[in-house]
Amino acid sequence: MVAIGRGALDGDLWGLVFLVLGVPLLLAGIAGVLGQEKWKRKLGAGGSSLATVLLIILIIIGIFIFLKGGTDFLSIHREPEPTIPVAEQIPLSLPIKAVITNEISGAAMTDVSVYLVDNSGRVLEQLALSGNAYVSSMKYRSGESIFLKIVDGSAFYVATVSLPYYEKDVAEITQPDYHEVTIRVPDAPTTLSIKVYDEAGNLISDGSTLNTTSLGKTTFTLTISVINTEQDTSTYPAFNNPATKSTFYSALLLVADKPLAVSGMNPLYTDASKTAMWGDIAGLKAVLDPRTNTVKPGTETFVVTIDASAITSSTTVTIAAYLDFDTSYYKSMGIVNGEAVQLATFSLTITK
């Protein structure tokens, strides 16, 4: 909203005073300039010069006072937009009613098990399925961050949920029965496929042997593709597992026997017998294309370089795809964590 006349509307009379003083002075100065010849005749040459200076000063003062008064009197200012009062929020202690939905299809997932766990991973309770929602028997307070462990077959995903506050005026009249939350999560695939190609683009079969003498080189690249074709499923994004205080990943693990040297993925572990590397395969979504009524697979590709120049006997490269893979555990122990779920595997023997 725009308001005009701060001096008048707000009771500020200074603008009006400046106008009353400034206008006559300005007019007097102008009149003096216009009548300058007349003044010259009356005052003579010296007097006329002094009169001219005085008239100029008078005009400057008049202009200043006029502008000052006009600015104050006719100023335009913008009033602040009216603020909308924020409704008071209050905490409530209520049971939880959680709807778990497939992040791709939006359908409610009623074939999973849902547990409420604390920040150490201890199970506080299993939520009971009621219709298309999972309901707790215990009450939890607004503002709490809770962990819902969603178990889908052998795999699991942990979602962190902040319980809402409620408008005081509404809650005092009709208190809700539940903290109602909706959680969008991936529906995990039951299997993935791994395809490996040589430098010429030829598909390498699982369990086959690659002879570097026949190949004519000891350093070469492999292209590895991980593929999900199960409609409306996806590999999990990284999440924090409160039970282990570590991050779990959907991961592709490559393990090469020494003395093979490998590069092209994230270094993970090495010892006297093997080198391990990994890559993130989160978000491999298999989505139905309505135009063709076919499933568009989710794919992740890695290109690795293998140097077999130091081998003297048969060596093996093993590739596996996992859900719930703990990189921290592998880095410290050199083995896959017990929670990880293997969805695909591939092996290749390399000889000289």
pLDDT tens for residues 5-58?
Answer: 444 444 455 555 555 555 555 555 555 555 555 555 554 555 556 556 555 665
Spans of all domains in the chain: 2-78, 89-185, 193-351
pTM given for the model: 0.75
Token couple for 147: 């962990």
Cα–Cα distance, 96 to 133 (Å, whole number):
10
CB 167 within 8 A of CB 89: yes
Residue 270 near residue 277 (C-beta atoms within 8 A)? no
Query: What are 172-192's pLDDT values in tens digits?
Result: 788 899 999 999 999 999 999
The verdict on domain 89-185 having CATH code 2.60.40 is yes
Burial class (CB in 10 A: 0-12, 13-18, 19+), 317: buried
What is the distance between the alpha carbons of residues 126 and 178, in angstroms, rounded to a whole number? 16
Q: CA–CA separation, 311 vs 350, rounded Å?
A: 9
- 287 pLDDT band, cuts 50/70/90, is very high
Q: In the predicted model, is pLDDT for residue 325 greater than 50?
A: yes
311 touches 350 (CB < 8 A): yes
- pLDDT above 90 covers what percent of the chain? 71
What does the alpha-carbon distance between residue 108 and residue 114 come to, in Å, rounded to a whole number?
13
SS3 334: coil
| Residue 294 reports pLDDT greater than 60 | yes
Task: Convert the pLDDT of each residue in 100-136 to its tens digit.
Answer: 999 999 999 999 999 999 999 999 999 999 999 999 9
CA 2 from centre of chain: 39
> Above 50 in pLDDT, residue 1?
no
Helix (H, G, I), strand (E, B) or coil at 303: strand
End-to-end CA distance of the chain: 84
24, HSE (Cβ side, Cα atoms, 13 Å): 4
**Is 311 a residue whose pLDDT tops 60?**
yes
3-state secondary structure of 18: helix
- The answer to whether residue 209 scores a pLDDT higher than 90 is yes
Q: Dmax of the chain from CA atoms?
A: 124
d(CA 108, CA 101): 4
pLDDT (0 to 100) of residue 259: 96
Tell me the residue type at 49.
Answer: S
Interval 247-268: pLDDT, tens: 999 999 999 999 999 999 999 9
